[in-house]
Structure 1
Amino acid sequence: MNISFIKRSLLLMNRFSKILLMSMCVNLTSFGLSQTTGKLAGTIVDKQSKNPLPGANIILEKTSYGAATDEGGQFHIINIPPDMYSVSIMMIGYKTVKVNDVRISINRSVSLDIEMETTVIEGEVVTVEVARLAQKKDQTSTIKNISGDEISALPVENIGEVINMQAGVVQGHFRGGRYGEVTYLIDGVQVDETFGGSNATVDIQPEAVQDLEVITGTFNAEYGRAMSGVVNVVTKDGGPTFEGSISSGASYYQTSNTDIFIGLSPNLNISKDLKFSLGGPILGNKITFFTNLRSQNINGHLNAYRIFNVDDISLFWLDDSSQWFSTKSGDSSYVPMNTSKNLSVLGKLSFNVFKGIRFSALYSYSDDSWFGYDHSFKYSPDGRAGSYKNTHYTALQLNHMITPKLFYELKLSSVDNYFGVYLYKDPLDTNYIHDFHLNNYGSGFFTGGQQKDHTERTMIDETYKFDLTWQANHSHSFKLGILSIAHDIDNKWRQIRNKFEGQDVEDPLTYEPEVFGDTTVYADIYKVKPQEVAAYFQDKMEFNEMVINFGVRYDYFDPASKYPSDRRNPANQLVLPDSMTSTYLQAPVIEQVSPRIGFAYQLGNQA
């Protein structure tokens, strides 16, 4: 871990402590939303008369969550962390009703309507099957919630495979949309890849997931950047007892089609996988921890046959075929071409020291490197560039239950993501050789040479998010949130050239790597700090057979960069008479107001 990142993490914690102190002192008058908790609501009536029972107590066992019914026999419990619960309904003169296995999911309402029987014997308990009572009838879009227990029972290796199993999702594309049209969240905080928005920058393993929400339909006002889908992951907290798991495995490929899949061997094409997770108490239920680790070393099923080294020379373009030759100095060994190494570490501390206040601190680190299969380098595999990525993610979250009907969440996060594609990290590395060796004439296979595109990109996102939820009554839940994201993008793409290119002394033996600045076609270098701000308001109206989601969202985006006025001639390198001189203009700020409305009518328990 580098020193600069530690400083940013400490600065983030310092900012959080200041904002936390301010939030305790000010009068909260706005309304917001939570994207990491759920709600339990319903009606309690007398079984014989069907009259509502005011004053009945509803308790989530082994938690501090509970409520009492109002004059109409209705109740609601908000801000419940996603999990499986047992619910007890109690009232003097009535049998206690116990409902087991009530699943609370993120951003969802579970309806639990109970009929209670009178009794003269205190302590009688009636157990009711949850499937007959609990209904999730709050959907106005296509939403799928998958619990951590369900994920652990699936034959999957990563969260992406779970997402691809959902209706409307094919290989990461939602409803036929592009990769960049999906918003990824961890504990309600956006972690999209800043540069292209193609995927999530933070790697969360299936063993660390408490609940997963996949939205493939329309979206409420709380979601920005999403055009095709939304994925929201809630990470696990430690429990009151120690729980953990460890597993290790190895696998390799075997086939009879050895003419296609050449050189497959258990010693060469073996893949290893180590998983570890542990959670439990530090100070009873007050302070808990959860940690997760995974290490993978994958040697895929596609091999190269090293006939050539990078400095080999081949001449096959001469008219006289008798003069064709190739040095072919390779060792004729098989080399795995689609390989990857992955390390993922996550640690989380959860604090429940004060009643109604939950605080968590999460840190995640991932380090990935991989080489993709390139058919043209099948006989000269050492000239391929590799891909490298590492990510530091820190998140601090506060959940404060002000009243049984009102709570807020404050979330701060920092993502420090590095991505690189290169053969050697130093673009001036003396191991780079002349492009004379990069030859694939005739056959299409390279007989030497190196890939010399060199990319390094650092992206830092700091997110500040405030949400507040107010359950005004049994039918209306008002929500409002504010979001700010500060981006810092440092991009360097360069093509490695020869210092002596075009000079009389240039030949295959006279080579020194050189890179050029951004004013040439051989480089694309920039450092920008865009800003995003968003605010949204939403009213979720839940009735007996109908649900309406109505809201409005405001988005503000400042690119904080410049663009060329003449995109045909951005660097003024065209000298034709009709070519225009390009000047750099400040990119305008973009603002947008988006109304959102969703409507659903329930035809029955199954439709």
Structure 2
Amino acid sequence: MKSYKPLFILSLVCLWCVSAAWAQSSLIRGRITDKRTKETLPGVNVSVPGTYKGAVTNIDGVYEIRDLAPGDYDLKASLIGYTVQVRTGVHVEQGKTTQIDFSLEATVLALGQSVEVIGKKPLFETDITASQQHISSEEIEQKVVESVTDLVGEQLGVVVQDNKIHIRGGRADESLYIIDGQSIKDPLSGYSNTLYVNAAAVKELKVITGGFDAEYGQAMSGVVDIETKEGADHYSGGVSVKSDNLAKGLFPSFNTDIVQLTLGGPEPLTRRLLPAIGLRLPGKLNFFLSGYGNISDTYLPQADKLYPAKASYEKFAPRQENDWHLMGKLSWEIRPGRKVSLSHDRSVNINQGYFTSLATDIGGFPYDYSKMLDHYNTLTKEANLTTLQWIHTLNSRTFYRMTLSRFFTSIHSAVQNKHWSDYQEGLDLLPILYIPDSEGNVKTRYGDGFYDTGDAEGWYDYFSDNWTIKTDLTTQPNDKHSIKAGLEARYTDMQVVDINAPWYGESGLGRNHDYFRVYPNDGALYLQDRITYDGMIVNIGLRYDYWFPGKYVDDAIKDSNTVTITDAARVKYKDETFQLWGLRGKSHLSPRLGISHPVTDNDVLYLHYGHFSQQPKGQYVYAKLRSTSEATYQLFGNPNLKPTTTVAYELGLKHRFNANQTLEVKAYYKDMFDYPTAATVRKYSPRYGNISFLMYVNMDYARARGIEMRFRRRYSQFLSGNIDFTYALATGKSSTPNTNLLVAAGKVSEKPLGESRLSWDRPYRLSTDLYFDMPEKANIRLAGVRLPEKWGVTLRWEYESGKRYRRIIDVANNVYEKDEYGSLSDPWMRLDLKWYKEFELFKTHLALLVEAENVFNARVPRIINPVTGRPYQPGDVIPVSWYDDPDDLPATNPARYDWPRRVMTGLEIRF
């Protein structure tokens, strides 16, 4: 018994310690009142997001949340009929009671429609079941960006290559851009960035890279949800001017000028004019206007003059790259809970396609035309989005939204705005070389790989006119469920005229051409339910997408003279489609499930499983369906294409060290099925006999997997930042659906039989953003010297793996490695910087700006020499084909590197 005495005493001590700790457990207590009447509010739900903890106020409006470990928490107070209020950064100490009172404001809006945050913005949201990143207008102002595309390119899981955005290993057409609730996805190319939106017009940007809800469709890799600014109850505006010409003597100039104007506030006509004649509109009517222009000669050679599609546009094309954006919005809150808004976005881009990709062309600098850029194409791209939206709150639990929109986009590409019949054949004549061989015979060779006379080959004109009606309803029948249901329908008028080398042949339509005008329509229905359990949130959804290719396709299927449609294809089309209102349609069902579960008071585990799909690009369906050319190698559209689908899995963990420091780690895996690719189709035609041709079919697949980490910290009221790291792999059968066409034309030796790395695969990226802001009256001293006030610095540093390429293993025989993109070029690093200093003059805000991109002038590769694995340098060994093949990648192409260092200085005025 004596031997057990020390153990018994030790047990009593431990029990006493535990009891003492329990007795000293912390709690949060408070009283909740009505902001206007000051009366106490019983029945208010007070929760600690990300934990199981919570309480409900009693009849005296008092609540208590017990058994909290020391640390920093957020508190959320919600009651039907009142604005939800979130109090952030509540500090709890061991054994102490923290008093937190709320004063809630009554509202007629549905619960959750209006949220008030008191304190600093939470670093992460604990109830989200997807990977999403929010960027506010305040954060955007601190960044060195000009467009929404620039912002998206900085986010976790995003790769920018050849001016295209790839999200989590997906192709560039797999993302969806939404502006104020409306899609701007181009039905022909599948690209979503057809409307140029300047970053200053954005109120909030949400980038969802995984696990998006059922309300989002026609996307497999990511969603970019843009909310534009609107006018407030007071007037505000500003002018910003930036240029790289102001510091021309210190840094290289690319003749770049950027101007931006904004103005918003109460609409003056109805506020002043109508009351003057005895008329008054109920409620509040506000407006917001934004204008933006960005013109530059770029770092590449320029044409003497550009020739836009309309003569009236010539004044908007003074430089090599010309980007314009205009936005206007009217918001009328007729009374609380009823709001109507009308907005219009318009962008015009005029250039020569150096940094633009088309549906049928990857774009890029036309090095073989660099001696005669005035005879190369001018590209005019226009986009218009008009949106009319009505939001109506029915009661404290339900509201709905109805939207009617028109999205119009067009592209015209021509040499000097000529008709294709006026083109002259491009010729490479000079110099003339006479090369003797060992036997004394002389061989004559014309040209040096650069065109000397004539015009470029392409003439292209395209438009799509898209009308969409969309409605959704959100209701919260009880405290457990939040249900959202919606439907949308889109009608499209789309036309393409594509002429190549019009001087060839006798048809007058050149060596290769295509023409079609089609009227497809598509839409969707969806239902999702957000279920809140004690300690768990489940987000479950189901989406049904439908698509009618249109009468153009139906008639081609019925017509036995359509050469590219086999009898088997006609049967398949009928079997795999349904008929409605005289048209044949296709559909797809996509289930989605997300779960968020707090593991501890400071850890949240979430997972998501979902099916995502999108209809085939118009180019893959309609191309050459009813037009054939004289070209030897052609690729035909296929009406039988099925939707491309992705099955994605994601697991993530969020950890909060304290209110100012968080870490998020997530892993994902994606299977992508039914990718279109070119395949040989053979048939017998009574007119042509046995024929074979290349057609798009659903035969390719791809996979993407990766790990992403983000560490965020607010060091103080002056300094904050984040560190992002991504490791990812993207593999598949091919990087382009045109591989077999390139094989047939002799451009590629063979298509890989198995999976290989995709061209945009970048295994790793490490980046950090630092924001330093010295506010007014900070009174900070360094070595006894008081630092100036109202200035700040932003830094963004990136380190990323290099570009994929196919290495040459035998230079003499021009033998490449087996995998198409089996090698990586050297990694690259760059730093961007922004400095600003603010002043006040006559109640007007002034700011001096300095923005520097690629501060250390890093040479980021765009074209890789497959012998050395880096961009060509003088003296490097080069492939045999680069010596005399104008169709290959010439060694001295100035576009082999990305932008060098750019320094912009400017002035901003705001009121």
The answer as to whether partners of 1:58 and 1:90 remain within 8 angstroms in 2 is no
Q: Is the 8 A contact 2:43 2:59 kept in 1?
A: no
Residue 394 of structure 1 is matched in structure 2 by: 386
1:166 maps onto 2:166 in alignment: no
Residue matched to 1:417: 409
Distance 1:203 1:345 in 2: 10
Partner of 2:549 in structure 1? Answer: 559
Contact 2:474–2:484 (Cα < 8 Å) also in 1: yes
Q: Which amino acid aligns with 1:196?
A: S
Residue in 2 that maps onto 1:466? 471
Corresponding residue of 1:4: none
Matched, 1:203 2:160: no
2:594 to 590, 593, 598: 598
Partner of 1:290: 288
2:325 aligns with: 344
Give the 3 Å change call, closer, same or farther, for CA 235–254 of structure 1 in structure 2. closer
Looking at structure 2, the residues matched to 288 and 294 of structure 1 have their Cα atoms a distance apart, in angstroms, of 21
SS in 1 for 2:173: helix
Aligned equivalents of 1:473 and 1:130: distance in 2? Answer: 29
CA shift digits 1:171-196 (9 cap, x unpaired):
12101111111011011211112211
Q: Deviations over 1:481-512 (max 9, x none)?
A: 0111111101111235338x67xxxxxxxxxx
Q: Which digits, 9 at most, give the CA deviation of each residue in 1:461-484, with x for residues without a partner?
A: 111100110012222101100111
Aligned residues between the structures: 465
**SS of the counterpart of 1:382?**
helix
**Contact 1:427–1:496 under 8 Å retained in 2:** no
The residue type equivalent to 2:481 in the other structure is H
Per-residue deviation at 1:580?
A: 9.9
Q: Which residue of 1 aligns with 2:488?
A: 483
Greater Cα offset, 297-306 or 203-212? 297-306
Shift of 1:546: 1.8
Indicate which of 45, 49, 58 corresponds to 1:73.
45
Q: Which runs of 5+ in 1 are unaligned?
A: 1-46, 77-88, 103-108, 120-127, 257-263, 307-335, 503-513, 574-578
Equivalent position amino acid for 2:594 in 1:
G
Residue 281 (structure 2) pairs with residue 300 (structure 1) = no
> Identity of counterpart residues, as a percentage?
25
2:151 alignment partner, SS class: helix
> Residues 67 and 366 from structure 1, CA distance in 2 versus in 1: closer, same or farther, beyond 3 angstroms?
farther
Structure 1 length-normalised TM: 0.67
Take 1:251 and 1:214, find their aligned partners in 2: how far apart are those partners? Answer: 31
Partner of 1:376: 368
- Mark the CA change 1:438 to 1:180 in structure 2 (over 3 Å): closer, same or farther: farther
- For 1:438 and 1:163, the matched residues in 2 are separated by 45
Output the CA distance in 2 between the equivalents of 1:93 and 1:74: 11
**Structure 1 counterpart of 2:255, which letter?**
I
- Partner of 1:149 in structure 2? 138
Q: Structure 2 CA distance, aligned partners of 1:185 and 1:209?
A: 12
* SS state at 2:523 partner: strand
Cα deviation, residue 541, structure 1: 1.5
Alignment of 1:168-317 (within 5 A): 168-171=157-160, 172-251=165-244, 269-282=254-267, 286-303=284-301
Compared with structure 1, are the counterparts of its residues 550 and 434 closer, same or farther at alpha carbon in structure 2 (3 Å cutoff)?
closer
- What's the CA shift for 1:426? 4.0
8 Å contact 2:29–2:99 — kept in the other structure? Answer: no
Distance 1:414 1:110, change over 3 A: farther
Which has the higher relative contact order, 1 or 2, with Cα contacts under 8 A spaced 6 or more apart?
A: 1
Rounded to whole Å, the distance in 2 between the matches of 1:364 and 1:553 is: 29
**Structure-2 separation of matches of 1:68 and 1:515:** 83
Q: Once the 2 structures are TM-superposed, how far is the Cα of residue 543 of structure 1 from its aligned partner?
A: 3.5
Distance 1:254 1:242, change over 3 A: closer
Go from structure 1 to structure 2 and tell me whether the alpha carbon gap of 1:496 and 1:220 turns closer, same or farther (over 3 Å shift).
same
Following TM superposition, by how much is the alpha carbon of 1:435 offset from its aligned partner in structure 2, in angstroms? 4.2
CA contact (8 A) 1:111 1:133 kept: no
In the TM superposition, residue 74 of structure 1 has moved relative to its aligned partner by 4.9
- Cα offset for 1:271? 1.3
3-state SS in 1 of match to 2:150: helix
Residues 1:364 and 1:74: Cα distance change in structure 2 (over 3 Å): same
Change (3 A) 1:438 1:581: farther
Q: What is the deviation of 1:254?
A: 10
- Deviation per CA, 1:155-185: give whole Å up to 9, x if none: 2111111111111111121011111110110
CA shift for structure 1 position 433: 2.2
1:136 and 2:125 correspond: yes
Distance 1:199 1:545, change over 3 A: same
Structure 1 residue 110, shift from structure 2 partner: 8.3
State the shift of 1:581 in Å.
Answer: 13
TM-aligned CA distance change 1:426 to 1:304, over 3 Å: closer
Letter in 2 for 1:73: N
How far apart, in 1, do the equivalents of 2:544 and 2:334 lie?
36
- Contact 1:52-1:72 at 8 Å conserved across structures: no
Do the aligned partners of 1:470 and 1:478 also contact (CA within 8 Å) in 2? yes
Match of 2:461 among 437, 456, 460: 456
How many angstroms apart in 1 are the aligned matches of 2:328 and 2:121?
38
Deviation of 1:545 after TM superposition, in Å, equals: 3.0
| CA spacing shift, 1:169–1:58, aligned 2, 3 Å | farther
**Structure 2 CA distance, aligned partners of 1:356 and 1:448?**
66
Residues 362, 394 of structure 1: 8 Å contact kept: yes
Shift of the 583–466 alpha-carbon distance from structure 1 to 2, 3 Å rule, reads closer
- 1:37 corresponding residue in structure 2: none
The 1:301–1:412 alpha-carbon spacing in structure 2 relative to 1, beyond 3 Å, is same
| Letter paired with 1:169 | V
Q: TM-score, normalised by structure 2?
A: 0.46
CA 599–521 in structure 1, closer or farther in 2 if over 3 Å, else same: farther
Distance 2:171 2:85 in 1: 32
Shift in CA distance, 232/533, structure 1 to aligned 2, threshold 3 Å: same
**298 and 400 in structure 1: CA distance in 2 versus 1, 3 angstrom threshold:** same
Give the aligned residue type for 1:488. D
Counterparts in 2 of 1:236 and 1:444: CA distance versus 1, 3 Å? same
Residues 14-25 of structure 1 aligned to structure 2 (within 5 Å) = none
Query: Amino acid of the residue matched to residue 526 of structure 2?
Result: Y
2-structure distance, mates of 1:160, 1:600: 30
Q: What CA distance in whole angstroms lies between the structure 1 residues aligned with 2:188 and 2:379?
A: 16
Provide closer, same or farther for how the CA distance between residues 451 and 589 of structure 1 changes in structure 2, counting only shifts above 3 A: same
Please say if residues 303 and 374 of structure 2, whose CA atoms lie closer than 8 Å, have aligned partners that are also in contact: no
Q: SS where residue 498 of structure 1 aligns?
A: coil
Distance in 2 between the 1:473 and 1:491 partners? 51
Residues 435-481 of structure 1 deviation map (CA, whole Å, 9 limit, x = unaligned): 45677944212222211311100101111100110012222101100
Separation of aligned partners in 2, 1:302 and 1:413? 38
Shift of 1:378: 2.0
Cα gap change, 1:93 to 1:374, in 2 (>3 Å): closer
Distance 1:359 1:547 in 2: 32
* Separation of aligned partners in 2, 1:383 and 1:254: 33
Contact 2:29 2:98 in 1 (8 A): no
